[in-house]
């Protein structure tokens, strides 16, 4: 029989083996880790029994905020070079990019399965037939067990949503929307080309169609200080999101935001790693406890990054974050207020 008590801060059951006899010492007890946050690995384990790896793709799509439909300059922080690994170039087919990605990762884990991550630019911005062709090409590659599709909230037409809903009944499909901010003034300032209402609608339609829905936010955009970000967390908690990625604001060479920073540095708060860790914790305390938190930082190539340069790898950041959460005796959702 397993007895259940409660962890000291997050009301998550800790299972303790009953005492087997006078010879038992503490090392024979099995205690679960206290709940800190919903992590991606546990989420993927519910969907797949194999170890999973995302492979980033550049399928050659454009973006309405760059091709002139909405604007030419793109979002002020955007430089797509920052999220394109070398193996992912447009002169290579989706199949070729996936095979090269697989060869890279399979050296370490031969039994791994993969998610094709349509990441660069806007991956729902083309005729539905052309999109289907690319998605299905990816799914036909051996070992690819699902799709993650990164896009903008204003690029999800009904016919594509219907197709993705049908597809998601037979395979793993996650649509990941760039939300970035819930504040229309900020969205205008960073030239996103859509408002927050568009985001809310896209997320609602996608989740209601039965498709796993993810979001991405940037913490530290100009004009968004702590109170504003806490309001943002409460708003994000109301969206029917399955996953969320948070990123610190990074200033990237050659972007309009880098120029803005040069001209008006006082309008930017570039966080130290420790400050940002506390900000992320404050933010996740207000999120719905079941949202899967996929990542907290992004790492742009050093040669493109102006600031902040913390010199921390993703796993090092996560370790520091967990340590600080434990020190603060807190967890995701502890301040969540259901509306
Ligand atoms: S929507 Fe994405 S790809 Fe397009 S300009 Fe903005 S960040 Fe860049």
pLDDT tens for 107-127 read 888 889 999 999 999 999 999
Q: Where does the chain hold its CATH 3.80.30.30 domain(s)?
A: 36-328
Arithmetic mean of pLDDT, 204-224: 97
| Percentage of the chain lying above the pLDDT 70 cut | 87
pLDDT of 3: 32
Measured over the CA atoms of residue 120, residue 40, residue 152 and residue 225, the dihedral's sign is negative
Task: Tell how far the Cα of 292 is from the centroid of ligand 1, in angstroms.
Answer: 24
pLDDT of 1: 32
Q: How far apart are CA 25 and CA 73, in angstroms?
A: 65
pLDDT of 128: 97
pLDDT of 106: 86
Burial class (CB in 10 A: 0-12, 13-18, 19+), 62: middle
Ligand 1 close to Cβ of residue 63 (< 6 A): yes
What CATH number does domain 36-328 carry, 3.80.30.30, 3.40.50.620, 3.30.230.70, 3.40.640.10? 3.80.30.30
Q: In the structure, what pLDDT confidence band is assigned to residue 80 with cuts at 50, 70 and 90?
A: low
pLDDT of 81: 58
Task: Tell how far the Cα of 70 is from the centroid of ligand 1, in angstroms.
Answer: 11
Q: In the structure, what pLDDT confidence band is assigned to residue 89 with cuts at 50, 70 and 90?
A: low
pLDDT reading at 327 higher than 70? yes
Q: What share of the chain is helix, strand, coil (3-state, %, to 5)?
A: 35, 20, 45
Ligand 1 close to Cβ of residue 216 (< 6 A): no
Ligand 1 close to Cβ of residue 61 (< 6 A): no
Task: Tell how far the Cα of 10 is from the centroid of ligand 1, in angstroms.
Answer: 38
**Ligand 1 atom 6, closest CA:** 75
pLDDT reading at 90 higher than 80? no
Q: How far apart are CA 63 and CA 80, in angstroms?
A: 11
Q: Are 134 and 163 in contact (CB under 8 A)?
A: no
- Rounded to whole angstroms, what are the CA distances from 237 to 205, 227, 242, 291? 17, 15, 10, 8
pLDDT of 2: 32
pLDDT of 86: 54
Q: How far apart are CA 38 and CA 284, in angstroms?
A: 10
Arithmetic mean of pLDDT, 58-78: 92
Residue predicted with more confidence, 165 or 1: 165
Closest CA to 162 of 205, 215, 122: 205
Task: Tell how far the Cα of 113 is from the centroid of ligand 1, in angstroms.
Answer: 29
pLDDT reading at 168 higher than 70? yes
264-292 confidence digits (pLDDT tens): 999 999 999 999 999 999 999 999 999 99
Could you identify the residue written with the tokens 């599709």? 149
- Rounded to whole angstroms, what are the CA distances from 53 to 13, 101, 292, 332? 30, 10, 16, 25
pLDDT reading at 195 higher than 90? yes
Lowest mean pLDDT, pick from 75-84, 88-97, 130-139:
75-84
pLDDT reading at 22 higher than 50? no
248-262 confidence digits (pLDDT tens): 999 999 999 999 999
Mean pLDDT (the chain) is: 89
Through-space distance between the first and last CA atoms of the chain, rounded to whole angstroms: 38
Which region, left, alpha or beta, applies to residue 34 given φ > 0 means left and ψ of -120 to 50 means alpha?
Answer: beta
pTM of the model: 0.89
pLDDT of 5: 30
pLDDT of 82: 52
What would the two tokens of residue 314 be?
A: 């993703």
Arithmetic mean of pLDDT, 6-14: 39
pLDDT of 27: 36
Nearest-atom index, ligand 1, CA of 79 = 8
Arithmetic mean of pLDDT, 229-258: 97
């Amino acid at each position: 029989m397993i007895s259940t008590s409660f962890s000291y801060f997050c009301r998550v059951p800790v299972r303790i083996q009953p005492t087997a006899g006078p010879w038992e010492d503490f090392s024979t007890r099995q205690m679960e880790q206290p709940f800190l946050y919903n992590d991606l690995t546990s989420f993927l384990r519910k969907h797949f029994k194999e170890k999973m790896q995302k492979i980033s793709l550049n399928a050659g799509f454009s973006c309405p905020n760059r091709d002139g439909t909405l604007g030419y300059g793109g979002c002020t922080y955007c430089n797509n070079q920052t999220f394109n690994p070398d193996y992912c170039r447009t002169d290579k087919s989706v199949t070729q990019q996936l095979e090269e990605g697989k060869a890279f990762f399979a050296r370490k884990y031969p039994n791994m399965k993969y998610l094709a991550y349509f990441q660069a630019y806007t991956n729902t911005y083309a005729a539905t037939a052309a999109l289907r062709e690319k998605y299905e090409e990816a799914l036909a590659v051996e070992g690819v067990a699902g799709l993650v599709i990164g896009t903008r909230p204003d690029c999800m037409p009904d016919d594509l949503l219907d197709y993705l809903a049908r597809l998601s009944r037979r395979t793993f499909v996650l649509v990941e929307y760039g939300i970035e901010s819930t504040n229309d003034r900020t969205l205008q300032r960073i030239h996103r080309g859509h408002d927050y209402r568009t985001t809310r609608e896209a997320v609602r339609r996608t989740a209601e169609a039965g498709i796993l829905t993810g979001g991405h936010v940037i913490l530290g955009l100009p004009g968004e200080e702590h109170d504003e970000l806490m309001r943002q967390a409460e708003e994000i908690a109301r969206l029917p999101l399955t996953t969320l990625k948070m990123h610190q604001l990074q200033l990237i060479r050659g972007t309009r935001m880098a120029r803005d920073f040069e001209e008006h540095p006082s309008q930017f708060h570039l966080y130290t790693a420790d400050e940002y860790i506390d900000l992320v914790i404050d933010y996740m305390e207000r999120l719905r406890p079941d949202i899967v938190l996929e990542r907290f930082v992004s790492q742009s190539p050093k040669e493109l990054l102006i600031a902040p340069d913390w010199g921390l790898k993703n796993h090092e950041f996560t370790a520091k974050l967990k340590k600080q959460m434990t020190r603060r005796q807190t967890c995701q959702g502890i301040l969540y207020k259901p509306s």
